[in-house]
Amino acid sequence: MFFRVGYGFLSIDAFPACLPVTTTSSIPVAKYLPKAVAAGVAGVAVGVGACAGLGGESQAMIAAGSVVAIAAALGVIPAILPPLARTDRFGLAILAGTMAQTLLAIAAAFALTTMFELPRRPLVLGSFAGVFVVMMLQAVAAAMLLNSMPSHNPVPSSSSRPSQPSADTTA
């Protein structure tokens, strides 16, 4: 599964040793992507609605919706990139994506309120409300998808385990 660029000692592996390529199956992207996009749409609606409810003007609502939409796009990346869309890495990739979404939302909200002098409270709280909805819905969609997939390491049932000798306490 590795491919090399170069020849001999000057070759470079496409995937480093810290990301071993296994023979596990990949994530059914067609099941996850619509749910991730729907989470983004719901997050944008919540973010814009929260911003409007807190008294944000049209510029603040557009900014909050843009922050949430960009953060939601980060949640789709683990499903699209082939090294991350494997069952043994997908959960951690979603976790890393939610951390990246949070950091992006913090940075974007701070930058927008500072550079364009937008009202801080409606923009920040609207953005965070929308990103929270996106993160929760994408995490639930990923968990449901991983839970519905067949397990690669089945746990032996109690009937197939060898019986343990009982300790004799009558000595």
Q: pLDDT tens digits for 84-94?
A: 777 788 888 88
SS3 content of the chain, % helix, strand, coil (to 5): 60, 5, 35
Dihedral sign for Cα 112, 118, 122, 126, please: negative
Q: What is the pLDDT of residue 21?
A: 46
Q: Residues near 160 by Cβ (< 8 Å), separated by ≥ 6?
A: none
Measured CA to CA, the distance from residue 55 to residue 121 in angstroms comes to 9
* pLDDT tens sequence across 66-84: 999 999 999 888 888 877 7
Instruction: Please state which of the ranges 52-56, 120-124, 164-168 shows the lowest mean pLDDT.
Output: 164-168
Q: Which pTM does this prediction carry?
A: 0.73
Measured CA to CA, the distance from residue 99 to residue 78 in angstroms comes to 13
* pLDDT tens sequence across 36-62: 999 999 999 999 999 999 999 999 999
